Amino acid sequence: MNPKGDLIEHCRAEGLGEPTFESTASGPSHQPHFLCVVQLQGREVGRGEGRSRREAERAASQAALQRLGHPLPAAPAVTDRAVRWPIYAELLSNALIVAHERGEDASLEQVRVDAARLYQGLLSDLGVRPEPEDE
């Protein structure tokens, strides 16, 4: 999952030009909060927040992709065998909160899918892999 790269690629493919990313930080230095705004052709197309600049850019890029009608990448593919992702309660809780905040008008099912995608993406970024379930 690389929403920023996907957004740049989508904009190039559609001849829309290069998106620009403007991030601002607020809060104390030990617990910063970032806001990123993505603009395309001088207008805002996405906005995202996070605890790091990268996280905010990722959220803003996902919002921009949705607004531009580009389908978000599917959750990591699961092979024929079922897999079990390890559960890290705080990380899962935060993924649910972010998914809920991003999809204010989304159905419960969409929030669940988005939270699962975020959670699996975060675990993958950290190098955590799912384990096959017992049959």
Half-sphere exposure of 18 (CA within 13 A, CB side): 2
**Model pLDDT for residues 39-90, shown as the tens digit of each residue:** 999 999 999 999 999 999 999 999 999 999 876 555 444 444 566 777 777 8
Question: What is the C-alpha to C-alpha distance for residues 9 and 127, in angstroms, rounded to an integer?
Answer: 25
Question: What is the C-alpha to C-alpha distance for residues 66 and 72, in angstroms, rounded to an integer?
Answer: 7
Q: Is the pLDDT of residue 119 over 90?
A: no
Q: Which CATH number covers residue 48?
A: 3.30.160.20
Domain interval for residue 86: 3-132
**Model pLDDT for residues 66-79, shown as the tens digit of each residue:** 999 876 555 444 44
| Residue 114, token pair as written in the block | 């988005």
Number of folded domains that form the chain? 1
**pLDDT of amino acid 78:** 42
pTM beyond 0.85: the answer is: no
**pLDDT of amino acid 131:** 74
First vs last C-alpha separation in the chain: 29
The identity of residue 64, as a single letter, is: A
